[in-house]
Structure 1
Amino acid sequence: MRPSKAAVLAGVVLAVVAGCSPGETGNPRPATSDTPATSESAEPTTSRSPRPKEIALDGIDPCATLTPAQRTELKIDEAVNDPLDVLNNDRPAPTCAYMSNGRSVFSYNVSLVSGEGIEYWEGGSNLDVDAKNVGGFAAYQYKLSGTSDAYCSYAVDVADKQQLIVQFLPIGEGFTQDQMCQNAAKGAELALATLQTLK
């Protein structure tokens, strides 16, 4: 039961990131465009605040990024290690799907991405991208344009060419877009705090 559930969840994540509207190319990678996704997302890389410290993601188990206490706080009762192609570049990143199977079914997908920094999200795309800050680290909040019921993700600048990506994905109804983004931000904050204790 659990492996099949994880497989279904992975498929949902890929479908959401790929884009849900018929006719869309679905590639979430920012494309060259005269119109930026948001005014904040168009800022050059040099405008980002410096990292408080560098957190190398190499060799970290993604399912170690949330402690038992943090999992309880987020109402998580299952963790599945399942690499995902979160950047749609044919390079699956180490990912843990932290799932809640209670009254509301949802997942916090925590991906440890190497080879691409958060500048990946700068420029025009089929995503709404907003500059944020998580625990003193520069970050981008992003979601699929034109929808308010799919998902919300945070990409956090942890090291050169490395980023922590935390996606809040509701399975079913019951969450507003604001709630999804608040949950994604909370998940990113907790995972970032844990990562700083692992290295």
Structure 2
Amino acid sequence: MARPAACRIRSVLIALAAITLLTGCAEAAPDSPFPPRPADIDVTGIDPCAALTPAEQADRGVGPGEPGTGDLGDGPTRICGWSNFDDGYNYSVQTLPLPAAVVVGTPDSTVHVVDGYGVVQSTAFGDSFPLCSHYIDASDPHGIRVQVMATASNEDGSIKDFDEVCGKTTLLTSQALRNLRPAG
């Protein structure tokens, strides 16, 4: 049995209203603070200790990283850490069960781009042993945290500055992205 014209018109109007409503919602969604990613990184399948090649480890004066696991409350995490007691720095790469966007706007944070990936840079402990963290926008549900911490003062006893510590963090972030992202 054919539907009356009024029913067809009502169906078309309801469909148009739904499309208009959905389009309006899509336009109202906030813009991402990050550029489009060169490629998503599936952090559930990476080994954080693979963030540095053996040659990059040698350049830093560190051996193979020390792996670890844990739970951050929002899910599991894997971490790899390297220490160089001669140059006074600790390095780490950690998978995160949350996207990098959750740290946008936190105190002492700024948004940067490293090798095409959005990164939230956060600093802490500037009065003692400066720490610089990069939260990488690896995928929609997950992030990667790269950290460098000064573990010693300068030879003259002064505190290392954030420019130096964050410069080392940017280099480590670039190396981690090159070594952990999908080939292609």
TM-score, L = length of structure 1: 0.66
Give me the whole-angstrom Cα distance separating, in 1, the residues matched to 2:66 and 2:162: 25
Residue-by-residue CA offset, 1:129-157 (whole Å, 9 max, x unaligned): 01101111111110127647331111111
Task: Evaluate the alpha carbon distance shift between residue 73 and residue 161 of structure 1 in structure 2; reply closer, same or farther with a 3 A threshold.
Answer: same
Could you tell me which residue of structure 2 aligns to residue 166 of structure 1? 146
Could you tell me which residue of structure 2 aligns to residue 105 of structure 1? 88
Give me the whole-angstrom Cα distance separating, in 2, the residues matched to 1:80 and 1:192: 19
**Which of 111, 123, 138 is 1:143 aligned to?**
123
Could you tell me which residue of structure 2 aligns to residue 74 of structure 1? 60
Tell me if the contact between 1:142 and 1:152 (Cα under 8 Å) persists in the aligned partners.
yes
**Which of 168, 172, 180 is 1:187 aligned to?**
172
Unmatched 5+ stretches in structure 1: 1-43
Q: How does 1:54-69 map to 2 (within 5 A)?
A: 54-69=40-55
Give me the whole-angstrom Cα distance separating, in 2, the residues matched to 1:173 and 1:128: 22
Question: Which residue identity lines up with residue 77 of structure 2 in the other structure?
Answer: A
Tell me if the contact between 1:63 and 1:96 (Cα under 8 Å) persists in the aligned partners.
yes
Structure 1 stretch displaced more, 71-80 or 135-144: 71-80
Residue-by-residue CA offset, 1:61-81 (whole Å, 9 max, x unaligned): 211221101112222235211
Task: Evaluate the alpha carbon distance shift between residue 154 and residue 94 of structure 1 in structure 2; reply closer, same or farther with a 3 A threshold.
Answer: same
CA apart distance, 1:45: 4.9
**Percentage of identical aligned residues:** 26
Count how many residue pairs are aligned between Structure 1 and Structure 2: 150
Q: Is 1:119 the equivalent of 2:101?
A: yes
Tell me if the contact between 2:89 and 2:150 (Cα under 8 Å) persists in the aligned partners.
yes
Tell me if the contact between 1:148 and 1:176 (Cα under 8 Å) persists in the aligned partners.
no
Instruction: Report SS of the residue matched to 1:81.
Output: strand
Unmatched 5+ stretches in structure 2: 1-29, 155-159
Tell me if the contact between 2:41 and 2:182 (Cα under 8 Å) persists in the aligned partners.
no
Q: More helix per residue: 1 or 2? A: 2
Give me the whole-angstrom Cα distance separating, in 2, the residues matched to 1:196 and 1:95: 16
Give me the whole-angstrom Cα distance separating, in 2, the residues matched to 1:95 and 1:84: 8
Task: Evaluate the alpha carbon distance shift between residue 82 and residue 193 of structure 1 in structure 2; reply closer, same or farther with a 3 A threshold.
Answer: same
Bigger CA radius of gyration: 2
TM-score, L = length of structure 2: 0.71
